[in-house]
Chain A
Amino acid sequence: GAGVSQSPRYKVAKRGQDVALRCDPISGHVSLFWYQQALGQGPEFLTYFQNEAQLDKSGLPSDRFFAERPEGSVSTLKIQRTQQEDSAVYLCASSLGVDSGYTFGSGTRLTVV
Chain B
Amino acid sequence: DAKTTQPNSMESNEEEPVHLPCNHSTISGTDYIHWYRQLPSQGPEYVIHGLTSNVNNRMASLAIAEDRKSSTLILHRATLRDAAVYYCIRYTGTASKLTFGTGTRLQVTL
A and B pair up: no
